[in-house]
A and B are shown apart, each in its own frame.
Chain A
Amino acid sequence: MKIIKIDKEDWNIGLKKIADDYRLIGPAKDQEFYLFKPLGPREAPEMGFSNTRLSAKEIIYPQSQAMFNYTLDPNREDHHLLKDAEADDTLTAVIGIRPCDAAAFIQVKRNFDTPEYQDPYWLKAYEKTVLVGLACDQPGPACFCTTAGGGPYDEDALDVLLVDDDSHYMAKAISKKGETLLEKAGWTEAMDTDTAMQTVKKRRKAAENRISSTIATDNLSDADTMVLYDAPFWEDVAFACINCGTCTFLCPTCWCFDIQDETHGMEGRRIRNWDSCMFPLFTLHGSGHNPRGTKVHRVRQRFMHKLKYYVDKYEAGIQCVGCGRCVTQCPVNIDIRKVCELMNNAGGQSVTCAA
């Protein structure tokens, strides 16, 4: 596999070259933290970040997305008909996405791209997006990607992997899409593969060693679902939870949405918005009955989905990439690492909660 050397002095020149072909999105500092933002003509992505506060999921799966437009005006021929909303099919390049956020797209794709059903909005956006990943040399204290099926240099979900080697980036095209982007940017200077791979290996090892946080998931698949469901620790786990949507909205792998029709005057649109299993409204029936009527129900659902139902349904590990956002941003310190430990140790028999 070819490794390309991109001198940092040529970095902006290359980005400028591809700016006509791709909508460029990259990390930008917003007061206290980094967010993914569209990059203006003279803006360069700020690559010195640990990770962005919100994940990259919104780039492919916006928080609010129009699906259809309609008119209620009886004088119009097409009144009361749903018409496809105009889809933005601009080719998009996400510069500096972390391997964890990219891996999340693979996990989410299992849900949005099944033999029975393919979500046209998500898939179209995914196909139109090139993920230019930045290997993670400064994982945070709450990052646990290496035990969540990934790693700071994981390239599987990327189109290009960039490794920051001080004065230059080393770029490895992982897919055809990635190869095309590198060519268009004029980044073609091949490095000696063996030497380059050795550097990558060394840096990868160092990054992996910086990850101090781990989870164990080995018993989840064999655990009895009902034993986990009825485990005695849920009340303790849920006590502090305030049922806000921080964990689910910040999570790169949470995919649930709600569909709404919004009409202004005679014109309207059908949109889908992120939803959260933490909200009581999420499961409220038209009858007024709520099958997940208490916060203990809702907290248990979130963890059971990520750490048991998903594991059983897709047989591809947990629905979590270990980015640590829910851990660091939860307003009341509900910690998936701790809950995972409780679930993994439940082992078919009842356990009591250790603090």
Chain B
Amino acid sequence: MIGYIDKIKQISKQILKDCQVEVVMGFRRGTVPMMNEPCFAKTEDDVDQFVWDGNCGINLANYLTGRREKIGIVAKGCDTRNIVTHIIENKIDRDQLYIIGVPCKGMIDRRRTNTLCEGIREVTDRGDTVKIVGTDVEKELAKSDLLQKNCATCAHPNPVIYDELVADLVDQPADTERWADVKKIEAMSSEDKWGYFDDLLKECVRCYACRNACPLCYCPTCFVDESTPQWVGKSQDPIDVRTFHFLRAYHCAGRCTDCGACERACPVGINMRVFTRKLEKDCYDQYGWEAGLTLDVRPPLDTYRADDPEAFIK
């Protein structure tokens, strides 16, 4: 994957040169380790800043919402699934996009990696390994041990929609224990679940980084920001904190691609993916549905069929 960048640059420059697009969205090197920054290249010179490695975990589909111009976008598997969702939900037009598909080998978990040694100054993706340079210490670890949790169980690393690929498709991962994390929570008693969720959300500062990093959260005004009427209190009252997280998760049901953007963004280390994961599993179990794999079928929770087997809907 670290060899992709030349091809990414070449395609990006070509489509800018041919005026197929007005901008290309990619990544440039960030100023802190494991944080490459979304970058908006308008010229071929801008493209020279582009980088690609395991530190490009931000979901660029988030930057497409409501844009009017023709856009080139560098997109890994999950990003393309969110692009599909965006197209279905009329947030962007397929014709506006030139999708530069990146077969993905997984993103580095910046939170976990940051705990491995003091004062991390440099984290380099070397393909199979990751080199970490901290204060007075240097380590080289297997990349498979440092992947974001969603990447470690990812079922769709390859782009599902693209105009051009930057490399051959990667092997589809073997059927991993994909829902082990959800099953573990499902097996808890009610009291244990209650305690687990209490503990999970106790440090939330309501910065809404999880919501704002999520490509699905594009409502012009989020329900927590409505002021006439105001649906949710603004304080640190745990009921309001939970209301935000639960409703946000439900709003993503059948739409979430488990790209991990929410968990990656959280400044206080909350794994709010446990909520969306459960809904993802339910959609999979009950409707055989995985979000963002096709432009031809609408998500299960925004369709109505007269032959729906459930009585309550008739």
Contact = CB atoms under 8 A, between A and B. Distances in A.
Interface in B36-54: 36-40, 49
Given A236-B40, A244-B207, A331-B209, A280 B267 contact: no
Contacts, number: 126
A327 interface: yes
Given A236-B40, A242-B209, A244-B212, A258 B234 contact: yes
Contacts of B87: none
Interface in B110-144: 111-112, 114-115, 118-121, 135
B206 A245 contact: yes
Nearest to A212: B121
B243 interface: no
15 contacts: A53-B267, A53-B269, A244-B212, A245-B208, A246-B267, A249-B207, A249-B267, A258-B234, A260-B235, A279-B225, A330-B35, A331-B58, A332-B58, A333-B30, A355-B28
A240 interface: yes
Main secondary structure of the interface of B (DSSP, over half): loop
Interface of B: 28-33, 35-40, 49, 58, 62-63, 111-112, 114-115, 118-121, 135, 203, 205-209, 211-213, 221, 225, 227, 233-237, 264-265, 267-269
A81 interface: no
Interface of A: 30-33, 35, 50, 53-54, 63-64, 138, 140-142, 210, 236, 239-240, 242-246, 248-250, 258, 260, 262, 271, 273-274, 276, 279-281, 284, 327-335, 337-338, 355
B227 A138 contact: no
Contact of A244 (B30, B111, B213): B213
A286 B268 CA distance: 33
A274 B105 CA distance: 40
A331 B206 contact: no
B158 to A, nearest CB: 25
Given A32-B111, A240-B39, A64 B235 contact: yes
A54 B205 CA distance: 10
A245 B203 contact: no
The 6 closest A-B pairs by CB, nearest first: A331-B265, A245-B207, A64-B235, A244-B209, A242-B212, A333-B37
